[in-house]
């Protein structure tokens, strides 16, 4: 027997079985496996809107919002009255910061389910968020007319109360004793005084501003160098990295490859720690910009809310300014290229082109700077659309050509959660490293770091598990509407 659309009953039954297995994988937070099983169900019966909407939700969990929008759109095409299709697409648009598109979808959900209190509440939140963004855009000052916040701050004039018993910087120099005391305070959920927070951020800004967009790092023979991936506000896991691999010093230098903040609810502690080490010993701490070091992301994923809660509104602008000073890429010993996202939509990009990027701005929506922060590798050759809806996917041939043209051996990038904390792809020429274990308290992944020793610069990968943290949920400071959907 066949159904009206030509799908056999056997296929329909098998597709349902696969959907049940996919749902179980989803509940166990095995989202890649769920996507695979939903895909198998879709191959057997592509006319069931539920399969597409469910796969969209699994893509959302892996931050593959571009793919989620595509799947949800397909569900809507199959069944224009299927509310969950609009709902899933709206949630994916929200996560991308596309409020106008999200609003349209939630209006449609409300239209389909006029008496559903949940739909009403979410539509209201979405409208509020959209109005707020519109208002902020209306009053925003053009970049060319904006005065630097940093220039208007004199931290010397800020009084430190006698009863403050936290870490103190004596004079202008950030010392190891200060950093250790600060880390200890953070561990016990104490805050750093605003005066010292300003001092660290402003000193880090001066250093970062003076650097090129692509930084060359030299590791002398017999010495080593450590590269870490995304930390995403997981401060207690950052402490564990230093526990396992030693504190940053001239003899033990680190590069943190972007996405220091957002999602995890200890982002302020993470960023102040990294900046403090930068101030203490500039050569011990290298920092690259990630796609989450941007206003747009920080507004949605928690850093802005956390900064307002732990420091003050004034710091939000200051961090935004400093994030625009972060370098975009590093090359270690002329061999290893390190950047947060990956490669480009065109061939022939030279290191000199990356050096020439004017990076002192919010990330644009296209071009080299956008791509270096957002792109991902793909198993197929060539280039393809991004799963995220920003940047692109690039294949092994693209990786090898870039390495060859720039006389390099290896690409190290971050940007994607990996079960083992890392993944080696593209015939060993590309490594993804991700340093936030049990990401968002739910992915169950390991974290990893890579140690390189000169002169051979072969990657030595160390993996580690998550450690306990105080009972503050990830996304605790994220925008209201996003929490409703996660």
Burial of 209 (0-12, 13-18, 19+ CB in 10 A): middle
Bond prior to 438 in cis (omega within 30° of 0): no
Q: Give the chain's length.
A: 486
Burial class (CB in 10 A: 0-12, 13-18, 19+), 171: exposed
Q: What backbone torsions phi and psi does residue 67 show, to the nearest 5 degrees?
A: -65, -35
Residue of 286, 292, 330, 415 marked active site? 292
- What tokens were used for 42? 């879709």
Q: Which residue has the tokens 């009084």?
A: 159
Q: Three-state DSSP class for 230?
A: strand
d(C-alpha 352, C-alpha 267), whole Å: 33
- Under 8 Å between Cβ of 41 and 15: yes
Give the strand pairing for 392-394 and 383-385.
antiparallel
What's the burial of 200, exposed, middle or buried (CB within 10 Å: 0-12/13-18/19+)? Answer: buried
Planar angle of CA 68, 64, 96, nearest 5 degrees: 80
> DSSP readout, 383-444?
EEE-TTSSSEEE-HHHHHHHHHHTT-SEEEE--S--TTSEEEETTTTEEEEB--TTGGGTS-
Q: Are 84 and 485 in contact (CB under 8 A)?
A: no
Token pair for 34: 């769920």
Show the beta-strand stretches assigned E in 188-317: 214-217, 224-228, 254-256, 285-287
Instruction: Please indicate whether residue 426 is annotated as part of the active site.
Output: no
Catalytic machinery residues: 292
């Amino acid at each position: 027997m066949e159904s009206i659309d030509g799908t056999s009953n056997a296929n329909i039954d098998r597709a349902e079985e696969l959907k049940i297995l996919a749902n179980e994988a989803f509940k166990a937070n095995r989202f890649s496996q769920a996507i695979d099983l939903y895909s198998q169900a879709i191959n057997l019966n592509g006319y069931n809107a539920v399969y597409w909407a469910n796969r969209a939700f699994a893509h959302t969990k892996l931050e593959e919002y571009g793919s989620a929008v595509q799947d949800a759109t397909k569900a809507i095409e199959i069944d224009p009255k299927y509310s969950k299709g609009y709902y899933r697409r709206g949630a994916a648009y929200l996560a991308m910061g596309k409020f106008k598109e999200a609003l349209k979808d939630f209006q449609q959900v409300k239209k389909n389910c006029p008496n559903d209190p949940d739909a009403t509440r979410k539509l209201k939140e979405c409208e509020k968020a959209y109005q707020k963004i519109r208002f902020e855009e209306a009053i925003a000052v053009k970049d060319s007319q904006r005065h630097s916040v940093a220039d208007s701050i004199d931290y010397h004039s800020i009084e430190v109360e006698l009863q403050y018993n936290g870490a103190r910087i004596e004079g202008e120099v950030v010392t190891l004793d200060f950093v250790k005391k600060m880390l200890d305070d953070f561990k016990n959920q104490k805050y750093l005084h605003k005066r010292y927070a300003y001092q660290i951020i402003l000193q880090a800004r001066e250093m970062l501003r003076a650097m090129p967009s692509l930084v060359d790092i030299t590791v002398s023979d017999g010495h080593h160098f450590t590269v870490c991936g995304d930390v995403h506000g997981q401060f207690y896991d950052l402490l564990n990295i230093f526990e396992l691999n030693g504190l940053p010093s001239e003899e033990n230098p680190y590069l943190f490859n972007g996405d220091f903040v957002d999602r995890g609810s200890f982002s302020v502690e993470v960023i102040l720690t990294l900046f403090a080490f930068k101030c203490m010993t500039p050569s011990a701490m290298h920092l690259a910009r990630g796609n989450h070091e941007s206003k747009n992301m920080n507004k949605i994923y928690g850093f802005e809310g956390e900064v307002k809660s732990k420091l003050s509104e004034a710091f939000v602008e200051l961090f935004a300014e400093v994030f625009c000073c972060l370098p975009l890429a590093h090359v270690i010993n002329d061999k290893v290229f390190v950047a947060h996202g990956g490669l480009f939509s065109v061939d022939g990009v030279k290191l000199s082109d990356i050096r020439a990027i004017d990076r002192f701005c919010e990330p644009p929506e296209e071009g080299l700077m956008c791509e270096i922060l957002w792109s991902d590798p793909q198993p197929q050759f060539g280039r393809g659309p991004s799963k995220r809806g920003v940047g692109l996917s690039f294949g092994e041939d693209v990786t090898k050509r870039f390495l060859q043209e720039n006389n390099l051996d290896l690409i190290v990038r971050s940007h994607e959660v990996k079960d083992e904390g890392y993944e080696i792809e593209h015939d060993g020429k590309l490594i993804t490293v991700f340093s936030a274990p049990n990401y968002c308290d739910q992915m169950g992944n390991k974290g990893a770091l890579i140690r390189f020793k000169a002169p051979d610069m072969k990657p030595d990968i160390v993996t580690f598990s998550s450690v306990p943290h105080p009972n503050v949920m990830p996304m605790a400071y994220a925008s209201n509407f996003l929490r409703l959907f996660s």
